[in-house]
Structures are given as structure tokens and as C-alpha cells.
């Protein structure tokens, strides 16, 4: 039953954003779908909405983990809507459900998701996103990428490595 | 885009069970899938595993909200695995994600899910499950059904009513 | 440092209730405080508010695990307010934090807390509360008590047994 | 009933740390207690344990929001232990319960707590902690302090401002 479970990549980023970030998110959703990777996100608008639109238009899968209690809050490109009623604490679930995380831009909510992914050993890729530097001057191990194309390609490689014994 | 979002019915019941309950769960998953309804459950074995098997064999959709941190804990018939790391507290999310809940048998975890569904106004249907009676002798409004067929038919009717304005 | 950590008993019950239940809750808070037991509850009004008032008037300790995000939502007799932003899902934390649970009356939220306590092996005592009967006709192991005095006395005995090696 | 509710300051930092950070944490707990401020933390060792020790030795109040299910996991200086069973997701509750947050050193879990505090408008003070810089080169608004003394003094000022109408 190989290929049966849908592998999920987390897309994290602000719920409101300008057209540049929206374009990046749309491309990311589209490219991930073309690689047969589903996306999991917070289910709302902005980066989340654009990524879901891109994924759906490439016949991909989209899961939205919503902060509120109503599935109707999800953007129209979410196929599986999971309302949680947990508010911003649902961020932890978005991250846990992802085999890798792609951060696009981002506010403080996105930063919390990056941090949890790092805490749990989930690889983090980013375009135009946070660079956290710790108290000893060390930057956090985020894979900064120059474009969404580079990021998706790196994510695909990382997931192949994860699933290949001895890979 | 009608019919785009996958409507989810929660299947709740014990993670270990005998063959009778497993058969009921398998039938429930199968019948729901035949009505184009996805299922959301706790993602483990027992009632959850049998329901997922039934759904998949009828070409349905299965979402597992897992207590642990590893998507690999899901039963093999879960297509969308959402590990939460929340332990038994993930029960609340299973319920929140469901438009209606079907309880089959059940231990205390199932009872907690029934109670949350009632608290949130999500309709609860049950076969061979709990009957909670309150301090004034009133039973909780669980729709007890004589068979899985009766239950699924009632769930389908309930969801049509929910989605029909003035219905 | 014996007696340093404050042992907590969960008081669960509706956020709105009549004077009879309020009196029971007030007595429960008071009696538990007189036995040097703190209380943990959902932090709002009704049974929760009356229990906190009773505890405080007997110089006891009160912890409120709130559904919302604002400590200011707590009733005025909560000394330690823990806003969670988790909505009704905070019920699980109220129960986890308790060495034993006392249910007074109760709606569906209370039933969910009773069920989680039973799931986790936390002893449940009740006055005028739910009697859940499972699919095989077996009632859940709730210690039904004829009065708050009887219940508190049983809780004190249960906690002594828990903390006495070989007790 | 002014002064009745115990105001809580969040202390966040690693669960294992060297003696330098431990000394800072001990001082922080002690100074906060001398200002009649309780502390809320993750309840384990390292920064959390040292801060609780400092607070208790100055007759302060300590609340531990634990990742696991057992109150016995708390460090011995926690007076109110709240086991949650939520794993690292309990970080969100530590932050929510705090009127201000003090970060001392810190790994990725600490970074997630800083981010959530910023997201929720809870003021963040730090000594030797993270400096996150966003995609546009702007640092996050963390109040970096040269010492614990400076930080506690700034926290006390911030809380007075919060509670003074027109302040």
C-alpha cells in the first residue's frame, strides 16, 4: 500500500499578506502537489489560502487545522477541515502533522511554529522568513532558500532521505 | 465547488474490541463511504481500525487524529494522519472535526467524546454504547440505534438537514 | 518538605446553577479547605464560583483553569488563575491536575470531565450527578455520595490511601 | 480584595543548563517573590527548577505547568503542580498564564514560548536569550536586559502600568 498515506508538508506564514508572498505561497502549494505531497496549514487566508489554492489547482491535497470551532472558517481550498477550538495553540498540531515545514514570511505565530518544528526535529525550510539567533550568537538551523523552487526541491530530497532506509 | 470539502463523521469507540464490534465498525465505515462521507477518528486500532478499513474498501476518506507524536502510529487505513502529541486530550479534536458522531460500544474515552459532542451541539448516534443519566434522572440525548444501517441512515438525514437552508 | 505541595481536588459542575447546588458547592470548598486540600476547577461561576468562595472563606487554595485567554474572567475567589485559550478542551487539564474529582450536578461538560477522570484512573465522587451506564448495562464506577460531607470524607480517605505506601 | 489574586510572571528557559544560567534563574525567582509576584513555569529542572527554588526561599509562589501526566514530575519547589499530558504543547499555557515573560537563555522550546507571548501581546524580557530577526531585517520586540535585576525591575514597572488605569 505504498503511497497510500498522504505525506504532508506544513506551510506556515501570515494570515494576511501582500501579493508577493501570496505568489510564493501559491507556487509552493502547486509545486508540492506536483510532487504528490499534500499540505497541512492553519486553514485560513493569506499564505495559507494561497498555498491551498495552488495545491488544489494542481490536484493536490489540503488539510486545514483551524483555530476556531467551525469548519466553515476554512478557506475554500481546504479539502479536510479540522476545527480545533484551541485558538493559536493549534499551531502545535499543524507542525506535528508535518514531515517538513516551509515558512514563508511570517509573524510571531509563524515564529512559534518554526520553533516547535526545530524542537521536534522536523526540518524547517524558509523563504523570506525569521532568522532567530540564540543567546550565544548561533543562528537556528533553518534552511534558508533563495526561492520556493529551491525550497520545494530541498524538501522533496529531505523526505526521500527520511523514508529511505540507509538513505 | 459543492461537494469539494469532505464532510466528516466521527467514529468513536474502543481501541481494542471483539469481533462483533469490529464488524459493526467495518460496516459503518463502508456505509458512510458509500454515502460520500469521510470519517474522522482517533486513528488507532479496534473500532477505529475496522471503521477505516471499511471506509477505504469502499473508496472513502479516513482521517486519524492521533494521541502520540508519530504519524506511523496510525492504523494502515488512515489516509490523513494527524499526530497531535496531546494524549487523550486529542479526543476533543476528533469530536470538533465531526459534523456528527457515531459511537460504537465504548469505554471511558468514548464517553468523554460523547459528552463533548453533546456539549457542542454535535448530534450523537450510538449502537451498543453509553446511556448517561443525569442527576435528575434525565437520559442524555443520544440517538440510540438498533443497527449500524439505521444509524448511518439517520446520520445522512441529519447532515442533509444541517446543510439545507430551511431544511 | 511534607505538606509543601498543595494537593488539589477537582470540583466539577455547571457554570450556572440554582441555590441548592450552590450551597453544596460552597460546603464542598469549605470542607476541603478545612482538610488542607486545595481545589482546582474551571474558574468560572456557578458550582465553580461557590466552591471557590467556600474554600477561600476557610483559608483554602483555589486554582482556576479558564477556557478563555484572560485571567480577569476568573471568579473573584480564584487565587491562581490559569487562562488557557483552549475553550472547553481545558476540561482535560482540570481533571489531570486533580488527585480526585468531586462532581456536583452537572451538564455535558461535567460528564466529559467525569469520563476523562475515569479514563485516567482518578477517583470520581459525585452528589446529584451523572450515572453513565455502558452498552452492556454496567454503570461507571462513580462513588455516588448522599451528601457533600460524606463525599469529602471519602475523598480524604482516598487521598490518604494514595499517599501511604502499603496503605 | 486587592492583592488577592496572585500575579504570575512566566519564567522560561531550558530544562538543563549550566551554573551561570541557574544562578540567574535563582535570582530571578527570588527577586520576583520579593516583589510579591508569583512565577509560572514548565515545572521541570534547569532554569525552571532554579527559579522555583529562589522564589520559595523568598516565600514566593510557584506554579508548574507540566508536560506529562504526573504531578510527581514537578521539581520540589513547585507549590501548585498542573500536569497536563499535553507534551511540549503545554508551553502555550505557561505563556497564557503569565502577565509578563522572562526568558533566560533558552533552546527551541523557549523560542516557541517567546513567539507565543509576542503573538498575544504579553511583554517579553530576556537575558542572554534569543534575538529573532524577521524576513525584512526587523528584530522582534524583546526587551533585552543586561541583568536579572534590570529585567525584574522592568517587569515590575510594566505590570504596574498594566494595572493602573490611564497609567
Q: Are D142 and D114 in contact (CB under 8 A)?
A: yes
Q: Are A64 and A43 in contact (CB under 8 A)?
A: yes
Residue D119 lies in a domain: yes
Minimal C-alpha gap between A104 and chain C (Å): 26
Residue B165: pLDDT band by 50, 70, 90 thresholds?
low
Per the listing, cell 479526543 goes with B91
D32 three-class SS: helix
Neighbouring C-alpha atoms within 13 Å toward the C-beta of A121:
3
Residue A113 lies in a domain: no
Instruction: Find chain D residues with C-beta within 8 A of A132's C-beta.
Output: 111, 130-133
Chains near C (3 or more Cβ pairs under 8 Å):
A, B, D
Whole-number Å distance between alpha carbons of B161 and B166: 8
Q: Are D109 and C34 in contact (CB under 8 A)?
A: no
Phi, psi of C13 (to 5 degrees): 175, 175
Number of domains in chain C: 1
CA distance between the termini of chain D: 21
Minimal C-alpha gap between C89 and chain B (Å): 6
Please report the pLDDT score of residue A162 as a whole number.
74
Residues 6+ apart with CB under 8 A from C121: none
Residue D151 lies in a domain: yes
D2 three-class SS: coil
DSSP H/E element including B119:
helix B108-119
Which residues is B51 bridged to in the sheet?
A: none
Give the range of the structural domain holding residue D72, as residue numbers without chain letter: 8-132+140-159
The sheet that has B143-144: what strands, in order across it?
Answer: B80-83, B62-66, B38-41, B8-12, B100-104, B124-127, B143-144
Size of interface B-C (CB pairs under 8 A): 83
Angle (nearest 5°) at CA A65 between A62 and A66: 120
Q: Which of D117, D130, D132, D126 is nearest to D146 (CA)?
A: D126
Angle (nearest 5°) at CA D67 between D64 and D68: 105
Instruction: Find chain A residues with C-beta within 8 A of D133's C-beta.
Output: 130-133
Angle (nearest 5°) at CA B43 between B39 and B47: 75
Size of interface A-B (CB pairs under 8 A): 73
Question: The domain that contains C128 carries what CATH number?
Answer: 3.40.50.450
- Measured in residues, chain C has a length of 167
Candidate from D88, D134, D135 with C-beta closest to A116: D88
Please report the pLDDT score of residue A96 as a whole number.
97
Would you tell me how many other CB atoms lie within 10 Å of the CB of residue A52? 30
Q: Kindly provide the ipTM of the predicted complex, given to two decimals.
A: 0.93
Q: Which of B12, B26, B28 is nearest to B109 (CA)?
A: B12
Chain D residues with a Cβ under 8 Å from any Cβ in chain A? 88-89, 92-93, 105-109, 111-112, 114-116, 118-120, 128-136, 140
Residue A161: pLDDT band by 50, 70, 90 thresholds?
confident
Residue A144: all three cell numbers together: 534558508
Residue of C nearest to B130 (CA): C134
Q: Are A55 and A77 in contact (CB under 8 A)?
A: yes
Per the listing, cell 476533543 goes with B92
pLDDT score of A22 more than 80 = yes
Minimal C-alpha gap between A8 and chain B (Å): 8
Residue D26: pLDDT band by 50, 70, 90 thresholds?
very high
Please report the pLDDT score of residue A164 as a whole number.
60
Whole-number Å distance between alpha carbons of C7 and D81: 9
Whole-number Å distance between alpha carbons of B130 and B12: 12
Instruction: Find chain D residues with C-beta within 8 A of B86's C-beta.
Output: 85-87, 89
Tell me the average pLDDT of chain B. Answer: 94
Whole-number Å distance between alpha carbons of C33 and C6: 11
Is C145 exposed, middle or buried, given 0-12, 13-18 or 19+ CB atoms closer than 10 A? buried
D interface test, pick of A42, A115, A116, A119 with most D CB neighbours within 10 Å:
A115
Q: What ranges make up the beta strands (E) of B13-113?
A: 38-41, 62-66, 80-83, 100-104
Q: What ranges make up the beta strands (E) of chain D?
A: 8-12, 38-41, 62-66, 80-83, 100-104, 124-127, 131-133, 143-144
pLDDT score of B166 more than 70 = no
| β-bridge pairing A131-133 and D131-133 | antiparallel
Taking residues D74-89, what's their average pLDDT? Answer: 96
For the residues of C56-116, what is the DSSP string, one character each? HHTT--EEEEESSS-GGGS-TT-SEEEE-S-GGGGHHHHHHT-SEEEEES--HHHHHHHHH
Tell me the average pLDDT of chain D. Answer: 94
Candidate from D74, D83, D97 with C-beta closest to C82: D97
Whole-number Å distance between alpha carbons of D66 and D41: 8
Cβ within 8 Å, pair C119-B106: no
Which residues is A63 bridged to in the sheet?
A: A40, A80
Q: Are A5 and B71 in contact (CB under 8 A)?
A: yes
Residue C86: all three cell numbers together: 483552549
Residue B28 lies in a domain: yes
Helices (H), D58-147: 91-96, 108-119
A24 three-class SS: helix
Phi, psi of B125 (to 5 degrees): -115, 145
Please report the pLDDT score of residue C36 as a whole number.
96
Please report the pLDDT score of residue C165 as a whole number.
53
Please report the pLDDT score of residue D2 as a whole number.
39
Q: Are D116 and A108 in contact (CB under 8 A)?
A: yes
Candidate from A82, A85, A97 with C-beta closest to B83: A97
Which residues is B80 bridged to in the sheet?
A: B63
Whole-number Å distance between alpha carbons of B162 and D91: 37
Would you tell me how many other CB atoms lie within 10 Å of the CB of residue B108? 22
D60 three-class SS: coil
Q: Which of C44, C163, C37 is nearest to C102 (CA)?
A: C37
B interface test, pick of A71, A78, A95 with most B CB neighbours within 10 Å:
A71
Taking residues A130-155, what's their average pLDDT? Answer: 96
Q: Are C43 and C74 in contact (CB under 8 A)?
A: yes
B72-122 pLDDT per residue, tens: 999 999 999 999 999 999 999 999 999 999 999 989 999 999 999 999 999
Ramachandran quadrant class, D32 (left: phi over 0; alpha: psi -120 to 50; beta: rest): alpha
Please report the pLDDT score of residue B1 as a whole number.
40
Tell me the average pLDDT of chain A. Answer: 94
Q: Which residues of C23-52 are buried (b: 16+ CB within 10 A; e: fewer)?
A: ebbbbbbbbbbeeebbbbbbbbbbbbbbbb
Residue B160: pLDDT band by 50, 70, 90 thresholds?
confident
Instruction: Find chain C residues with C-beta within 8 A of D99's C-beta.
Output: 71
Per the listing, cell 478563555 goes with C68
Please report the pLDDT score of residue C56 as a whole number.
97
Low-confidence ranges of chain C (pLDDT < 50): 1-3, 166-167
Q: Are B163 and C167 in contact (CB under 8 A)?
A: no
D51-69 pLDDT per residue, tens: 999 999 999 999 999 999 9
Phi, psi of D104 (to 5 degrees): -120, 115
Candidate from D5, D40, D74 with C-beta closest to C79: D5
Residue of A nearest to C67 (CA): A86
Whole-number Å distance between alpha carbons of D76 and C3: 11
Q: Which of C106, C117, C67, C116 is nearest to C87 (CA)?
A: C67
Amino acid at each position: 500500500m505504498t503511497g497510500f498515506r498522504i505525506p504532508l508538508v506544513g506551510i506556515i506564514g501570515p494570515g494576511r499578506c501582500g501579493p508577493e508572498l501570496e505568489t510564493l505561497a501559491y507556487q509552493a502549494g502547486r509545486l508540492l502537489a506536483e510532487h504528490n505531497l499534500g499540505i497541512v496549514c492553519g486553514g485560513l487566508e493569506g499564505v495559507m489560502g494561497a498555498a491551498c489554492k495552488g495545491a488544489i489547482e494542481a490536484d493536490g491535497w489540503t488539510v486545514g487545522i483551524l483555530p476556531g470551532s467551525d469548519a466553515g472558517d476554512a478557506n475554500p481550498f481546504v479539502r479536510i477541515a479540522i476545527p480545533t477550538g484551541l485558538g493559536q495553540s493549534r499551531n502545535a498540531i499543524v507542525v506535528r502533522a508535518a514531515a517538513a515545514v516551509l515558512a514563508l514570511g511570517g509573524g510571531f505565530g509563524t515564529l512559534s511554529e518554526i520553533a516547535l518544528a526545530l524542537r521536534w526535529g522536523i526540518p524547517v525550510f524558509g523563504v523570506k522568513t525569521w532568522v532567530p539567533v540564540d543567546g550565544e550568537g548561533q543562528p537556528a538551523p533553518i534552511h534558508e532558500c533563495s526561492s520556493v523552487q529551491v525550497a520545494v526541491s530541498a524538501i522533496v530530497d529531505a523526505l526521500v532521505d527520511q523514508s529511505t532506509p540507509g538513505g
